[in-house]
């Protein structure tokens, strides 16, 4: 059995500690923030996430499915809001499957407590990783009082997020790396519950205000309120406003009144929140390799920070943990060099794929869901899936409701795009989309592609 240092006690680090502690390894988790179970590290921010199928697969493998299920809220559909306040409900699947909204803070607290139940796992808070010696798996941690101490292990796993300190130390070898900020930044807008605590919007839907070049979305919290997020370009273009042209109070009020009149009804202080809340950026991080010899591995956002538009960041990180544990099942716990090579080979292409898929879903959310042809395509795909479930599983379902490797889902999604482009070009498709002929054409294209 090994002595393992996990840098970062967030969602992925704490789940990984559960997996590794149960195998009998000695696991030390070092987290730079205070213990979120005794300090409000999220400082009033109501960040929520969704657990989807592959998140559940990993939690089940760790024996935590029931423990986590109890703190989630199912979400069955998107609900779009147009400029006139009209809404359209678009179910996520044809068979009532759901994604599950959960508070990041609450989930983190639960996973930390589950990790701590293993006698082999020790949690250390207020420990900032300031150096890593990759060759000897030795980390230097600084405590909040300035004291530093060094911890040598057999293996260091960096689950320390998009700005990983472990990864920063890997930059000076033969290490490919990119960080790319997308043009859109975001601001959070809290959407309160009614005075009696009932929600103002359907909590079983993810709400989207798609405006082509920008969008707002809302996801239910357990208190009846919603966390709203406005995504908008930094810099205005001829087509759309940007955070740089929506700055003064008058501009802000005009912007919301024109673009999101129904949201103004729901959030009376929407302009004040916009003016007060910070503007945050979104970064995509890719790197290669994720491992260093038999000594260091990256996992979760540290290896693959992605944009949040598929809600898969945490689920991808949980899947990393499950695959890592399965490789230990298969290869044993002694030859970590081989385990890390195989982990890198298995996960790196999927990290790249979910990064691409997440960008793709941004276009879908902000633009396509308001497009009649996109809605028609969804209907045709739903019909194909219902009648030929073995042949046609829409991309969204592959990503959110299956364990199909992200890289295979991406490739299949691109194939679906090509086929549906031809199907949508059929004459009079709006009237004939439910015909046998359209179905036969789609399946024939599928056969041939």
Name the residue nearer to a copy of itself (CB basis): 81 or 184. 184
Is the CB of 59 or the CB of 166 nearer to a copy of itself? 166
From the CB of 407, what's the least distance to a copy of itself, in Å? 20
In contact, 434 and 383? CB cutoff 8 Å: yes
Closest distance to a copy of itself from the beta carbon of 175 (Å): 7
- CB closer to a copy of itself out of 24 and 337: 337
If the CB atoms of residues 171 and 257 are measured against a copy of itself, the closer one turns out to be: 171
Secondary structure (H, E, C), 43-99: CCCCCEEEECHHHHHHHHHCCCHHHHHCCCEEECEEEEECCCCCEEEEECCCCCCCE
Residues that bind a copy of itself in the complex, under the rule CB under 8 A: 163, 171-172, 174-181, 281
Shortest Å distance, C-beta 178 to a copy of itself: 4
Smallest distance from a copy of itself to CB 172, Å: 7
Task: Specify the residue, 39 or 235, whose C-beta has the smaller distance to a copy of itself.
Answer: 235
- Give 179 or 237: the residue with its C-beta nearer to a copy of itself: 179
In this structure, what token pair is assigned to residue 393? 């599983």
CA distance 162 to 274: 25
Pick 163 or 332: Cβ nearer a copy of itself: 163
CA–CA distances in Å: residue 195 to residues 202, 205, 266, 344, 408: 16, 21, 12, 51, 47
Report the nearest approach of a copy of itself to the CB of residue 234 (Å): 8
- Contact at 8 Å (CB) between 193 and 40? no
All residues at 6 or more sequence positions from 28 whose CB lies less than 8 Å from its CB, including other chains: 3, 4, 5, 6, 121, 122, 124, 151, 153
| Shortest distance (Å) from residue 286 CB to a copy of itself | 9
CB of 130 to a copy of itself, least distance (A): 14
Alpha-helix residue ranges (DSSP H) falling in 260-403: 261-266, 270-276, 313-331, 336-366, 372-387, 395-400
| 227/201 Cα distance (integer angstroms) | 11
Q: How would you label 145-184 residue by residue, b for 16+ Cβ within 10 Å and e otherwise?
A: eeeeeebebbbbbbbbbbebbbbbbbeeeeeeeeeeebeb
Task: Say if CB 406 and CB 316 are below 8 A apart.
Answer: yes
Q: How far is the CB of 203 from a copy of itself (least distance, A)?
A: 34
Q: Pick the closer one to a copy of itself by CB: 96 or 180.
A: 180
């Amino acid at each position: 059995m090994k002595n393992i240092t996990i840098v970062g006690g967030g969602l992925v680090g704490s789940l990984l500690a559960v997996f590794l502690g149960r195998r009998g390894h000695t696991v030390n988790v070092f987290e730079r923030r205070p213990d979120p179970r005794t300090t409000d590290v999220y400082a009033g921010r109501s960040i929520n996430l969704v657990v989807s199928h592959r998140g559940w697969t990993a939690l089940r493998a760790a024996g935590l499915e029931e423990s986590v299920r109890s703190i989630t809220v199912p979400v069955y559909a998107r609900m779009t809001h147009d400029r006139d306040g009209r809404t359209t409900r678009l179910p996520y699947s044809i068979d009532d499957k759901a994604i599950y909204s959960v508070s990041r803070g609450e989930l983190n607290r639960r996973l930390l407590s589950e990790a701590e139940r293993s006698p082999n796992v020790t949690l250390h808070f207020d420990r900032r990783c300031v150096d890593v010696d990759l060759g000897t798996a030795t980390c230097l941690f600084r405590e909040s009082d300035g004291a530093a101490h060094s911890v040598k292990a057999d293996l260091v796993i960096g689950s320390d997020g998009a700005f990983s300190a472990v990864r920063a130390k890997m930059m000076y070898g033969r290490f490919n790396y990119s960080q790319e900020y997308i043009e859109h930044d975001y601001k959070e807008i809290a959407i309160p519950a009614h005075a009696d605590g009932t929600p103002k919007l359907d909590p079983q839907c993810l709400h989207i205000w798609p405006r082509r070049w920008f969008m707002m979305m809302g996801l239910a919290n357990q208190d009846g309120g919603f966390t709203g997020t406005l995504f908008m370009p930094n810099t205005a273009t001829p087509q759309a406003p940007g955070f740089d042209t929506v700055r003064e109070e008058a501009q802000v009020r005009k912007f919301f009144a024109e673009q999101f009149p129904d949201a103004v009804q729901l959030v009376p202080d929407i302009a004040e929140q916009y003016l007060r809340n910070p503007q945050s950026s979104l970064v995509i991080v890719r790197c290669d390799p994720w491992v260093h010899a038999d000594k260091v591995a990256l996992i979760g956002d540290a290896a693959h920070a992605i944009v949040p538009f598929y809600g898969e960041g945490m689920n991808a990180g949980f899947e990393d943990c499950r695959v890592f544990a399965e490789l230990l099942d298969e290869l044993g716990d002694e030859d970590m060099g081989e385990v890390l090579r195989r982990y890198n080979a298995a996960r790196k292409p999927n990290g790249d794929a979910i990064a691409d898929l997440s960008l793709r879903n941004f276009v879908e959310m902000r633009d396509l869901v308001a497009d009649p042809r996109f809605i028609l395509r969804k209907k045709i795909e739903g019909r194909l899936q219902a009648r030929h479930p073995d042949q046609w599983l829409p991309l969204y379902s592959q990503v959110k409701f299956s364990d199909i490797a992200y890289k295979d889902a991406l490739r299949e999604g691109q194939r679906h795009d090509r086929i549906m482009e031809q199907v949508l070009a059929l004459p009079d498709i709006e009237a004939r989309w439910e015909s046998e002929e359209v179905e036969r054409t789609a399946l024939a294209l599928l056969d041939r592609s």
